[in-house]
Each structure stands twice: as C-alpha cells, then as structure tokens.
Amino acid sequence: MVLGRLWSMLNDLGGSFVPHLQRAPADALAYASAGPLLPGEPMPATRWGRDRVNVVDSLWVDGSIFPDGQQETLRLARPLALSKASSLLLLGAGTDGPPCCITSQLGAWVTGFEADPELVLVATERSLRAGFGRRAEIKTWDPTDPGFSRRNYHHALALEALRGQAPGPVLAALFNAMQPAGQLVKVDLVAEQPLDPLDDAVMVWCRLEGRPSVVPRQRAISAALGRLGFDVRVTEDISLRHMQQAMQGWHNVIRGMGGKKPTPAMAMTVVREAEPWPRRLSLMRARLIRLVRWHAIREDTPM
C-alpha cells in the first residue's frame, strides 16, 4: 500500500499521501499543517538518522542529498576548470558525495560545508574511510552568520545554500573567501513574485522543507552579486532538469524495492523523505518557484 500510493503520488504530483497510511504518526501531520514559519522562528530540526541517510543514498546515490547527486555536482563543477592545483569551497556537502566526487574526478582540494552537524559527522566518517584526508574535508557552517577564511579558495560552488536566508551575507562571505579572478557557481531557488505564506501549497512545502516562505528574486541575487564585485556571466533556469532528476530518483527507489514490503520504520522514513517533493515540483510546474544556476567571476574589488 505504501509503495503503490507513493508511486501514484509521484505520478500526479498530488497532495500529501501521509494521511493514507494506516499508521501515519500524528506529529508528522501536525508538523505539516502547523502554518508558515514566523519571522525569527528557528528552523525545525532535520532529524537526520541512519535510516534517512540510507533512503537518501538510494535516491540520489552515494552521499548526495539532491537529485542526480554526483552527476549533477560534476555537471555544475566542470565549468570551473578545476585541477589538482585548485581549491574549492563547497556549500552543500551532503553526506560526502559532492566533495569526494569532485576530488576523485576533477582532482581539486575541496572543503565542503554543511549546516547540519549530523550530516557533517556522517560525511567526515565517509570521507576518512575513503582515504581522501584533507583533500575532501567537511566542516560545519552557520547560514545565519556565515564566515570563511579570507581569500583561501580559488573557486566556490554553492548548492541551495540560502534556504530562506538573506542573500547578502552568504554571498559576501563567499566573495571574501575567494581569490581574485575566482569563479563562483551557485544554485538556488527563486520566485519572481512573493509567495503567499497562507496558501496551503506554500505553507505545507515550507514546513516540510523546514524553510520560511521568503524566496529571493533572480534579479535580486544577480544584483547582489554585482554589487559585491562579481561579474555574472551566466544565469540558467535548470528547473526542468531538476524535476526530471527528482522523478527519476523516486522511480529508481520504488523499482529497487522490487515489491518487497518495507518495515514500518523504513516505510515511514521513505514517506517522510518523499512528502516534500510533490509540493516542490508542483510549485515549480506552476512557475511559482524556479531553480537557477549562476556562474560568476570574482573581480579584484577591495572590500
């Protein structure tokens, strides 16, 4: 029943399917319908555990927490022309997939940052087991108070690093961390019109993803980059690719289960991980939110 309903939900990008489970936990339903996050309200805990890490690994493959994981990471990183002589600051390390695949495939020294300390622990364990040592380090960062070593990195890659934070401080921290002529590739959600925090679709999506309803405009981020001293060379809407990758990931998970009945705990973990995706994809289909890639070069502007 769980897998059949999950497949139906993903096909039609319909509403929440948690209520259709025989033993849906009350806290999950209450959490999803608790209303929009208020200004200054802390983000809810992500509750990363081993079961969830295993589900996400099967979704996006080996240490990534976003669709098409390592392949998408490499697609985004290749324009930076990385080499063994390059250092890269990477926001969005996941459970080690992005930094390790960049190091192994492109040769760069990567310092990955994650906001969630549980993910940092998992990522560090995996990176050490893989033998990357300092070539693929993972550290914790605070999106509300970002700060990195000044001019310590040749380039930077930021994977949905804002998540409700104002663009200015994060972009300024990236600028200060990069060396002159360094390149930045950044991916984030944008909304051309302010989202209605009282709209049911928006409200539940924000709660399930643990984010406020404030999503920046594309031109606001481009303008902020320009004010800091970045020369924006490319802006690309990658929403369609993102949607296709997400659907393919869930298709593979369901096929991989092969009709096997999961344990109640694993079924609920799969459900919790799936629940935000029809909300996100429905908002993308309606063009209320989009996923955009920027490629910019840091000019030698004093700050």
- The mean predicted confidence, pLDDT, of the chain is 83
Q: What is the pLDDT of residue 293?
A: 98
How does pLDDT run across 201-254, given as a tens digit for each residue? 999 999 988 889 999 999 999 999 999 999 999 999 999 999 999 998 888 877
Decide which of 184 and 16 is more confident. Answer: 184
Domains and CATH numbers, the chain: 2-298 (3.40.50.150)
Cβ contacts of 9-18, under 8 Å, gap ≥ 24: 9/274, 9/278, 10/247, 10/250, 10/251, 10/274, 10/277, 10/278, 13/278, 13/281, 13/282, 13/285, 14/278, 15/278, 16/204, 16/275, 16/278, 17/271, 17/274, 17/275, 18/271, 18/275
Decide which of 106 and 93 is more confident. Answer: 106
Decide which of 39 and 138 is more confident. Answer: 138
Q: Rounded to two decimals, what is the model's pTM? A: 0.85
Lowest mean pLDDT among 7-16, 65-74, 142-151, 233-242: 7-16
% residues pLDDT > 70 (the chain): 82
Decide which of 4 and 230 is more confident. Answer: 230
Lowest mean pLDDT among 26-35, 243-252, 258-267, 293-302: 26-35
Q: What is the pLDDT of residue 11?
A: 55
* pLDDT higher than threshold 70 for residue 197: yes
